[in-house]
């Protein structure tokens, strides 16, 4: 059970990027994030004492990532870049946690590749935002 809870944030990150191409695109302005159910994004009722060291590390990453994604600017381009920037930074941090705690060679390999890919995209997003006077 603890393994499932520890992997839940990683699965959520992976699934968040997997949309159905059959679904129609939604306009960012039409989405009211305040009414969305984000209950699956937390560690439930577990207290820090109930969590393993790895779980606590994943939870901290998850909390930071979602806090960074909560500020949604009116400009849809900036909203995308800022939201994805927080998401990618969370993916890098989660991968770093995996490298610290994961034992499986394939999980560690994927974590290493995620770090490299996401850092390149983070630099691209930061440059885009900086060129527009943003963060």
Q: Give φ, ψ of 73 to 5 degrees.
A: -65, 160
Instruction: Please state the domain extents for the chain.
Output: 1-13+52-135
Whether the pLDDT of residue 135 is over 90: the answer is: no
Does the pLDDT at position 124 exceed 60?
yes
The predicted structure's pLDDT at residue 82 = 95
Mean pLDDT value of segment 104-130: 97
Q: In which residue are the tokens 């849809």 written?
A: 76
Determine what percent of the chain is predicted with pLDDT higher than 70. 63
CA-based nearest residue to 66, from 44, 32, 41? 41
pLDDT at 22: 40
The mean pLDDT of 97-119, rounded to a whole number, is: 97
Q: Give the model confidence (pLDDT) of 72-85 as tens digits.
A: 999 999 999 999 99
pTM of model > 0.85 = no
**CA-closest candidate to residue 14, choices 97, 114, 105:** 114
Confidence label for 35 from pLDDT (cuts 50, 70 and 90): low
């Amino acid at each position: 059970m603890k393994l499932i809870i520890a992997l839940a944030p990683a699965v959520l990150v992976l699934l968040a990027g997997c949309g159905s191409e059959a679904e129609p695109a939604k306009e960012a302005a039409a989405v009211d994030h305040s009414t969305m159910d984000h209950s699956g994004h937390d560690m439930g009722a577990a207290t820090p004492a109930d969590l393993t060291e790895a779980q606590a590390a994943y939870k901290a990453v998850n909390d930071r990532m979602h806090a960074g994604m909560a500020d949604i600017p009116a400009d849809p381009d900036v909203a995308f870049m800022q939201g994805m920037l927080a998401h990618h930074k969370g993916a890098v941090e989660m991968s770093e946690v995996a490298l610290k705690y994961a034992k499986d060679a394939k999980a560690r390999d994927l974590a290493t590749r995620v770090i490299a890919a996401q850092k390149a995209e983070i630099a691209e997003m930061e440059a885009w935002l900086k060129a527009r006077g943003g963060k």
